[in-house]
Amino acid sequence: MKWLRENLFSGWVNTLVTVGLLFLFVATITALFEWAFLDAVWRPDPNACREAHGACWGFIAEKHRFILFGTYPFDQHWRPALATVTLIGLWVFSLIRLFWRWWLALVWVAGLALIGVLMWGGVPGLPFVENGRWGGLILTLLLTTFGIAFAFPLSVLLALGRRSDMPVIRALCVGYVELIRGVPLISLLFMASVMLPLFLPQGMTVDKLLRAQIALILFAAAYLAEVLRGGLQAIPKTQYEMADALGLSYWQRTLYVVLPQALRIAVPPLVNTFIGFFKDTSLVLIIGLFDLLSTIKVALTDPKWIGFGIEGYVFAALIYFVFCFAMSRYSRRLETHTGGVQVGARAD
């Protein structure tokens, strides 16, 4: 009560502002609740939606399978659904510190092999489905997963290369990072989609999905490298000197002394970059791939459901929020668990 009196009701001006904001907040929440729930239409009836004054969740009820699975064969939707659950399960399994063992890599290999079989098929009982028909949530998750998995080790090498004592290696790493960070992701996707096939030998083609994945990996690696470089710069010089005094080689010093500390320092900006990368996958629409957000745009072209874009984008926003909020909370938990990094501690 003391805090409220001192900060919100300390004078007649503050009191008026506080009361006005509270009234505006209650009115907004009430109107939003009526629109989203009380006056909403839940059945897939476009005529009823146009006559109602609330949200048309019937659009989601009608188009949710297309939004989540894209143009994947309708009678095979159980396959991308199971693949999505498997991939999310792999991520949840990997976030538990108890399972951070060598065999976790084998679990990922087995899980990704299962996802590949489910999505492609081509085995007895599962008809083949080309990856051009993949779309929706599973495409977003796959692009994010493989993008981070391949971009992270590349970013580590780039960050180390930028701090290398070898001028050629340092110049190459600096040039790569500055070049990639100096252009938008859209331009990289265009290059991968249009220009890359021109440099390939005649008769050789690269899958469209693979080209997009390569562009995303190269883009993410440059940004992650800068984050890791900041973590490396935060480590005091004494840490390097102590490692040298112990007779450690460059790679031993890097793997056992420098990188563990740099990664713990860089946990918050790393996760922030992961979240941004997860949302940036929506740009693959420009090269003909339909991720979660793209399938909503396509679904809205149906003449029966034109004009209900708000509901579709709210649905997409909720999905993005769930994944991004989960990553953010895990980042805070991991940062708290490590207890910070006392890189400046004395070594007696």
Residue-wise pLDDT tens digits, 103-160: 999 999 999 999 999 999 988 889 999 998 999 999 999 999 999 999 999 999 999 9
CATH for 59-338, among 3.30.43.10, 3.40.50.850, 1.10.3720.10, 3.10.129.10?
1.10.3720.10
Over residues 185-195, the pLDDT tens digits come to 999 998 888 88
Residue 346 reports pLDDT greater than 90: no
Residue 347 reports pLDDT greater than 50: no
Could you say which DSSP state residue 134 is in? -
Residue 82 reports pLDDT greater than 60: yes
- 310: tokens are 């708000």
Q: What is the pLDDT of residue 341?
A: 42
CA distances from 250 to 18, 156, 164, 242, 333 (A): 60, 15, 11, 13, 32
Task: In whole angstroms, give the CA distance from residue 300 to residue 135.
Answer: 16
Over residues 229-285, the pLDDT tens digits come to 999 999 988 998 888 898 899 899 999 999 999 998 998 899 999 999 999 999 998
Residues 137, 84 contacting (CB under 8 angstroms):
yes
Over residues 290-325, the pLDDT tens digits come to 899 889 999 999 999 988 899 999 999 999 999 999
**Per-residue confidence band for 338, with pLDDT thresholds at 50, 70 and 90:** low
Single-letter amino acid code for the residue at 46: P
Q: What is the mean pLDDT of the chain?
A: 89
Kindly calculate the radius of gyration of the chain based on its CA atoms and give it in whole angstroms.
Answer: 25
Q: What is the pLDDT of residue 339?
A: 55
Q: What is the pLDDT of residue 344?
A: 41
Q: What is the pLDDT of residue 55?
A: 93
Answer yes or no: pTM beyond 0.85. yes
Task: In whole angstroms, give the CA distance from residue 95 to residue 73.
Answer: 33
**3-class DSSP state for residue 341?**
coil
Over residues 204-223, the pLDDT tens digits come to 778 889 889 999 999 999 99
Helices (H), the chain: 2-7, 12-33, 46-51, 58-69, 78-94, 104-120, 137-162, 167-181, 185-190, 208-233, 237-245, 250-253, 259-265, 267-280, 292-299, 309-338
Residues 147, 217 contacting (CB under 8 angstroms):
yes
**Window from 203-207, 285-289, 320-324, 326-330 with minimum mean pLDDT:** 203-207
Q: What is the pLDDT of residue 61?
A: 93
CA distances from 204 to 196, 200, 256 (A): 11, 6, 43
Taking the alpha carbons at both ends of the chain, their separation in whole angstroms is 50
Q: What angle do CA 82, 85, 121 make, to 5 degrees?
A: 30
Q: What is the pLDDT of residue 288?
A: 82
Q: What is the average per-residue pLDDT within 8-27?
A: 86
